[in-house]
Chains A and B, each alone.
Chain A
Amino acid sequence: MSSSPKFAMFGLFGTLLLATAALAQPARDFPGVGRAATPKEIAAWDIDVRPDFKGLPKGSGSVARGQEVWEGKCAQCHGIFGESGEVFAPLVGGTTPEDIKTGHVARLNDPSFPGRTTLMKVATVSTLWDYINRAMPWTAPKSLSTEEVYSVTAFLLNLGGIVPEDFVLSDQNIGAVQQRMPNRKGMTLDHALWPGKGLTKAKAPDTRAQACMKDCPAEAKISSFLPDHARNAHGNLAEQNRAVGPQHGADTSKPSGAPPQRRAEPAPAPKAAGAPTALLNKNSCSACHALASKLVGPSFQEIAKKHGERSDAIAYLSGKIRSGGVGVWGQIPMPAQTLSDADAATIAQWLKSGAPR
């Protein structure tokens, strides 16, 4: 009797009931753990803005004001017109007035169009506002006023042709702007990769591979491989593999087929650091300057070469670090930096000595 299907069914239902009961049981209490958040605390941290603009603070900002903020705080990384790809992917470009009408960026269908800008992808204007507000400028997140966030958002939208030059973006008209976002209809939820219910449509995965085991239809032609000139592009792979085991790293400083490099002796320890790395990172210098290659700004070694010989090198460089400037190395400005005299002098001293590694 106990093995009858009917009884087994009962057993299954019993398990389900138990599971439901476990979920429905009243919450456990943990006396002394946690406290109520104060309204001021919530206001300080609850900064997210949703696509329906819940969370958006009241305020406004003009395209013109946005341009001022942009040139002072944003252009270093994103270019004067948001088009630069030198530090991050370009924000502006690739959208047309036609896209604003259709709500879908046509160039996303064109494989020959290089790259994808933020305005080509983003469907929701709330996303721009929220991210600028929480994370920009990159080296000083959350330092913009609400007016500045509205302004910069307006300026970006103007660069994309979404709002006119004399536009003032506000919490009142942002909903209308949403209706002009070039890629507002560009998102699909027709997939099975959302780990919950209700949001996405497809229930089954989009690939349906079979696990054939014998004499399978195989693709035995090698159609893609790294060209020989890229052999050492990731450094010598012999030094990136364990030096003991069934296989060792290929010595990519030599052509394929050369004998493997055998090195059981540990690599020599790196030399004592000359660069004040902690200081450079702390003050976000390294966000724009690298040791030996041009990033946003010139390399530290270029600066050292140009100014290190000056008799007043330390005073000059300390001053430049603290006050910022533009024109010495090009038109991308360096913002003024807030750091102590001593820290600025340490960096200047290191630059004067040639910016050794």
Chain B
Amino acid sequence: MSSDDKPRGRLIKAPENFLDPAGIRQVFAEAKSGRRDFMRKAFVAAGAAAGAAVAPVALATSNPVQAGEGDPNILTLPEHSKGLGQAVATEGYGKPSRYEANVQRRQSPGLTQTAQASVSFAPLQSLFGIVTPSGLHFERHHQGWWDIDPSKHRLMLNGSDASMLKKAMVFTMDELMRLPSVSRFHFIECGANTGMEWGNVAVPTVQYSHGMLSCSEFTGVPLRILLDLAGVDYKKARYVLAEGADGSSMTRTIPMEMVESGEVLVAYGQNGEMLRPEQGYPLRLVVPGVQGVSWVKYLRRIEVGDQPYASKDEAVHYIDLVPGGQHRQYSSIQECKSVVTTPSGGQVLLDQGFYNISGLAWSGRGRIKRVDVSVDGGRNWRSARLEGAVLPKCLTRFNIDWVWDGKPALIQSRAMDETGYVQPSYKQLREVRGTRSIYHNNAVQTWLVQEDGEVKNVQLS
């Protein structure tokens, strides 16, 4: 195969273009007379002529015909325009269209040996805006998930000793939900997100490289309200231990400054409904800007104390190996980061011409101030449009126009937050932290668009 035969952009025609106008008229005539078999055979023949093994029925429904009298999708009224549809409440809790069945949480094969201590990634390549549908929110479990009876769930507040608070307390869900609530949009990102790529490229798509990232509107009670009620001594108690009710009884240390600011929530709501069981139903902690492991699920207990706790997931995992052989401990903030989600790895651009490059940016230190996009591997950058509300410690959607000329392109995005911090390149990150860390990889991502339209995950040097 000479290089001229290689597909560039849309050099491989869809089979319907191989039907001449007369052929199309005949298909319509046959279709009208009810001969669907004929229609199928005609497309099969066209597909064979094009030498492409593609599903002909699918083509008939997904591609417009530009020749002849017009597109059969327009000229032939479909069933849904001529028949009776489904009744209300056919699905008491609605489902996505069956045509969206490819949009799923997925595991990366071989990442873990057990599905109960594992992670499933959110399909960022198929999402719009900033909200992650609750059913597609990434999952990370340490000892399997549970669907807990909310009438039996309790939250306890106590101190590492009695001098830390006036009164140890217990709350039911009914009581917690009587308190004044707030609703806020925040991103949640696992500290290990993009961790597989510290050393080199390891996964093909943005789902696996960045999909331990989601964003929801969370509803709950500021933890400060509860601690005030229990009479916490804020001078002594500068650390909070959050503990879950699942098998792992997950524990994490949170600084009291974050609780005092009112931003830490004891949350029961997510995107207008109760939390999903995979997200900690009926109660979880929301710790904006901080890695997901601190957002303790199935929250059963809050202890206040005067020292950090060095729990397993802050003494054995979620520590960063840096050059010199030391581990950074209690590294919790998710620093400013961004990624282009469309187009992204594992996809194929269908044609040359106009595209809207779109992606997500976020910072654990506050609002996104600017996102720049490069299509030439970082030589030249243009500032993207920030869409909609730009909220603190929340995902921000960015968009920028691009006309693809069919030549190879290296697409990158680089975010800046309101503190002036600029997302680093891999080179800049590795200069400080080496290549043996797992957590807090916020380097600039590069997607290579090949001449044939296929997009690949690459790293530059």
Contacts and interface: CB of A to CB of B under 8 A. Distances in A.
B55 A262 contact: yes
A235 B207 CA distance: 13
A191 B173 CA distance: 38
B123 interface: yes
B109 interface: yes
Contact of B433 (A88, A131, A206, A240): A206
Contacts of A243: 62, 99, 102
Interface string B128-161: 0000000000000011100000000000111011
Interface stretch (A8-16, A164-172, A208-216, A330-338): A208-216
A220 B460 contact: yes
Given A42-B156, A47-B249, A264 B62 contact: yes
B125 interface: yes
Contact of B61 (A33, A46, A135, A264): A264
A129 B76 CA distance: 71
B247 interface: yes
A299 interface: no
The 8 closest A-B pairs by CB, nearest first: A196-B255, A27-B228, A193-B331, A223-B461, A109-B325, A237-B346, A108-B325, A224-B459
B217 interface: no
B49 to A, nearest CB: 14
A77 to B, nearest CB: 9
A312 interface: no
Given A50-B160, A87-B114, 18 more contacts: A30-B178, A35-B170, A118-B316, A127-B315, A130-B251, A199-B330, A207-B424, A207-B429, A209-B423, A211-B372, A213-B372, A219-B377, A220-B376, A233-B109, A250-B348, A257-B7, A262-B54, A262-B55
A54 interface: yes
Contacts of A131: 311-312, 316
Contacts of B248: 134-135, 141
10 contacts: A28-B229, A41-B170, A50-B160, A127-B315, A135-B312, A208-B422, A211-B381, A240-B123, A240-B125, A247-B347
A328 interface: no
Interface string B161-187: 100000111110001101100000000
Contacts of B102: 239-243, 249, 267
Contacts of B454: 250, 256-257
B206 to A, nearest CB: 10
Interface in A98-157: 104-106, 108-109, 111, 116, 118, 121-124, 126-127, 130-131, 134-135, 138, 141-142
B271 to A, nearest CB: 20
Contact of A126 (B115, B169, B243, B310): B310
B310 A123 contact: yes
Given A141-B248, A241-B126, A257-B452, A35 B169 contact: yes
B316 A127 contact: yes
B204 interface: yes
Given A50-B307, A240-B346, A195 B332 contact: yes
B458 A225 contact: yes
A68 interface: no
Contact of B452 (A105, A244, A256, A287): A256
Contacts of A190: 328
A263 B382 CA distance: 35
B311 A256 contact: no
Contacts of A259: 7, 12, 52, 54
Interface string A249-278: 110100011011111111100000000000
Interface string B329-356: 1111101000000110011111000011
B333 A241 contact: no
A200 B58 contact: no
Interface in B1-59: 6-7, 12, 14, 52, 54-55, 57-59
B158 A42 contact: yes
B225 to A, nearest CB: 7
Given A186-B326, A211-B416, A248-B347, A195 B258 contact: yes
Contacts of B382: 213
Contact of A207 (B109, B142, B428, B436): B428
A10 to B, nearest CB: 25
Contact of A34 (B7, B126, B175): B175
Interface in B220-266: 225-226, 228-231, 238, 241, 243, 247-249, 251, 255-258, 260
Interface of B: 6-7, 12, 14, 52, 54-55, 57-59, 61-63, 98-104, 106, 108-109, 113-117, 123, 125-126, 142-144, 156-158, 160-161, 167-171, 175-176, 178-179, 200-205, 207-208, 225-226, 228-231, 238, 241, 243, 247-249, 251, 255-258, 260, 289-290, 300-301, 303, 305, 307-312, 315-316, 319-322, 324-333, 335, 342-343, 346-350, 355-356, 364, 370, 372, 376-382, 410, 414, 416, 421-425, 427-429, 431-433, 436, 440, 448, 450, 452-461
Nearest to B232: A27
A37 interface: yes
Contact of A195 (B208, B249, B257, B436): B257
Contact of B255 (A42, A108, A197): A197
A341 interface: no
A48 B178 contact: no
A229 interface: no
B315 A48 contact: no
B167 A121 contact: no
B417 to A, nearest CB: 10
- For B99, B175, B348, B379, the residue with the greatest tally of chain A CB atoms inside 10 Å of its CB is B348
A51 B310 contact: yes
B310 A124 contact: yes
A21 interface: no
Contacts of A329: none
Interface in A38-61: 41-42, 45-48, 50-52, 54-55
Contacts of A196: 238, 255-258
A211 B370 contact: yes
Nearest to A25: B228
B395 to A, nearest CB: 19
A109 B257 CA distance: 35
Contacts of B54: 259, 261-262
A123 B325 CA distance: 13
A222 interface: yes
Contacts of B230: 34
A1 interface: no
B169 A209 contact: no
B461 A191 contact: no
A342 interface: no
B171 A34 contact: yes
A71 to B, nearest CB: 21
Contact of B325 (A104, A118, A199, A263): A104
Given A27-B229, A241-B347, A246-B342, A48 B256 contact: no
A226 interface: yes
Given A188-B329, A224-B459, A242 B6 contact: no
A295 interface: yes
Given A240-B205, A244-B62, A188 B326 contact: yes
